[in-house]
Structure 1
């Protein structure tokens, strides 16, 4: 396809401000010139592959809703340079193979200029391999560090990594004087990534792992692993997985009278976790982003304004509060817009210019560089505790 560019944004200042603050935007295809010399009004196509069914659907559904909300807002404001934004959604069914099929379809058939997704680390890793080879910009919504480490041209991600989560939890444990822990992680790429980082950074924080257990994503019970952990001298249990696994672990731990603190990864940081654990969740700890507790974010926090705007808009549209996963989709599309603005509409430069993007999002303050395609640090993560059926900030 012949590459062409579209002109710089011509929105009035008020509309440009709205787009920046609300993160409403998307990618752009090279603009075709019309016979009269005007810009093409053809849609700008962006792909979005989320886990809309399967185990990762509690992640993928809110991601899709957030992106749909942004698309509606920007198109309502006139589109991108007068062109409507079209996001083509695909469901990877929480399956690695389906994710790769979806990105190949979007690239070859739909000719998208960039792809958002997927929701899970396994699907994202397969997509990233294909996207890197095809020089198709990809912004993932999954947490595994290996998605962007080592760095590959055009491959980015919006969630905090398992490295960030590990360091934030270990910082908390060190403050509490806890030196011995047990781990119980999903055997999938997300959980395995956490296992690697927990092992790697434990010595740095003076922590010893006295028990390491795994479970399968679809396992209905983890009582045998928990029984083994109960027989050790672990002072805390770190769980890494996505729902329903972590919630099942919490309930069974209570049934086994396992009294040590349980700390969950941000893979289950949503309202579904609270729904699944019920009364058994009281006192459970979790590492998460600030979007999980929007009403508790300080007014002078750099993320406060954008979090409030996103929460208000999402609640108005869907009658529910957005979780961190919705935020990953929101930030992903927002970052794509920033990259396109810096590329002047030349999509061939998109993967490269994203390395220069600096953006305050709902997940954290993104500062992409040539050596960092995630752009976040553990400092923008928080610790929360379940109290009276709600997440409360641990200060």
Structure 2
């Protein structure tokens, strides 16, 4: 696939944008940009996954602007072609077909949800275009697909992190409440598989639909189940907030765990006071200012958070961080590859070593297209409407 080499005039940018580029560690290039490299993005910026997709979209827009203000990548400016799939897998498939067939993009970033990502994968694989997903299910990268990478921690990692925290609290008998969406189903499967090895017993299960507004029957079933010590919710978007509110309304007081699929202040806003005490594994971006000064991610996290808050006036979301990581992985790979030739870009992505992102320190390989280990997730608890970073030694 050949990248378009259409020449463009240099854009006039504000001093504030240039400052943001410098803050992001991007070196300005004196020579004018030579070409317009097309980067595609298909995100769920409306629909049930809007609060995941909206910060992804704004992040890509802000940082592409900053990169271009600093001279682009290898002297080439980026043209972000962004589409909204509304959370619908078939729409996502059609949109990514348009990106690779008509726009001839050099890479695709996106797939806000597991379902939309899985619909896009056959298209990018057939077109041989590098694709960096922003969704969580491990099945996106296992088995490894040559052209597919992803930035978020996997659902399996989330289960393992939750189980480790449960064991520290001497809680071993749980219920799982999972969404019927692709991520909810995948995380439920991963948790059930990982439970025996972690010394956890799954004594009961309930499910809910992504659009359900009443889950009182499921909560009543939890109350009737003897011996439960904690409940784990597997899902993303608005559903987990509805479950959390219903959980408290039912008078349930057992420790409640969510996944990194709710790692946004919008979850806290939707769940309201019911979110108090909820624990979840998440990227350290949410608690950047509370990390130790020697933490190797702290500078990157703080730079992202300060720029995001200055530009948007909103609290950071882990989902915006996933998009930032996807874009910067592509940019750094293109620098190492000397350009945006898809095959060379793919090889450079797979050769990523020690890349410091918002989600962790990324080291990929031919057998690992996520490049994160369990240490990349931090355990958080929601207290008084904010995130609290828990100690790994027994908080």
2:235 maps to what in 1?
241
Q: Does 1:327 align with 2:321?
A: yes
Q: For 1:3 and 1:99, locate their aligned partners in 2 and report how far apart those are by CA, in whole Å.
A: 22
Q: For 2:145 and 2:264, locate their aligned partners in 1 and report how far apart those are by CA, in whole Å.
A: 30
Describe the superposition over 1:20-68 as per-residue Cα deviations: whole angstroms up to 9, x where unpaired: 972769xxxxxxxxxxxx9983311000111010001101110011111
Contact 2:52 2:237 in 1 (8 A): no
Q: For 2:41 and 2:327, locate their aligned partners in 1 and report how far apart those are by CA, in whole Å.
A: 10
1:64 maps to what in 2?
57
2:380 maps to what in 1?
384
2:186 maps to what in 1?
193
Q: For 1:40 and 1:75, locate their aligned partners in 2 and report how far apart those are by CA, in whole Å.
A: 8
Moved more, 40-49 or 331-340: 40-49
Q: Give 3-state SS (helix, strand or coil) of 1:333's partner.
A: helix
Q: Displacement, 1:109?
A: 1.0
Q: Does 1:91 align with 2:74?
A: no
Alignment of 1:242-391 (within 5 A): 242-345=236-339, 346-358=341-353, 359-391=355-387
2:24 maps to what in 1?
22
Q: For 1:40 and 1:304, locate their aligned partners in 2 and report how far apart those are by CA, in whole Å.
A: 31
Q: Displacement, 1:227?
A: 1.1
Describe the superposition over 1:49-92 as per-residue Cα deviations: whole angstroms up to 9, x where unpaired: 11010001101110011111111111111222333211000001
Q: For 2:21 and 2:327, locate their aligned partners in 1 and report how far apart those are by CA, in whole Å.
A: 11
2:165 maps to what in 1?
172
Q: For 1:249 and 1:39, locate their aligned partners in 2 and report how far apart those are by CA, in whole Å.
A: 53
Contact 2:4 2:104 in 1 (8 A): no
Q: For 1:281 and 1:175, locate their aligned partners in 2 and report how far apart those are by CA, in whole Å.
A: 21
Q: Give 3-state SS (helix, strand or coil) of 1:202's partner.
A: helix
Q: For 1:39 and 1:176, locate their aligned partners in 2 and report how far apart those are by CA, in whole Å.
A: 58
Contact 2:3 2:38 in 1 (8 A): no
Q: For 1:285 and 1:231, locate their aligned partners in 2 and report how far apart those are by CA, in whole Å.
A: 23
- Aligned match for 2:152, one of 146, 159, 175: 159
What's the TM-score once normalised by structure 1's chain length?
Answer: 0.90
Note the residue ranges of structure 2 that are not aligned, 5 or more in a row. 6-19
Contact 1:153 1:352 in 2 (8 A): no
CA RMSD after TM alignment: 2.2
2:96 maps to what in 1?
103
Contact 1:340 1:347 in 2 (8 A): no
Q: 1:208 to 1:323 in 2, by over 3 A?
A: same
1:28 maps to what in 2?
none
Q: 1:3 to 1:47 in 2, by over 3 A?
A: closer
Q: For 2:234 and 2:371, locate their aligned partners in 1 and report how far apart those are by CA, in whole Å.
A: 22
Q: Give 3-state SS (helix, strand or coil) of 2:40's partner.
A: strand
Structure ranking higher on relative contact order (CA contacts 8 Å, 6+ apart)? 1
Q: Give 3-state SS (helix, strand or coil) of 2:53's partner.
A: helix
What's the TM-score once normalised by structure 2's chain length?
Answer: 0.90
Contact 1:23 1:70 in 2 (8 A): no
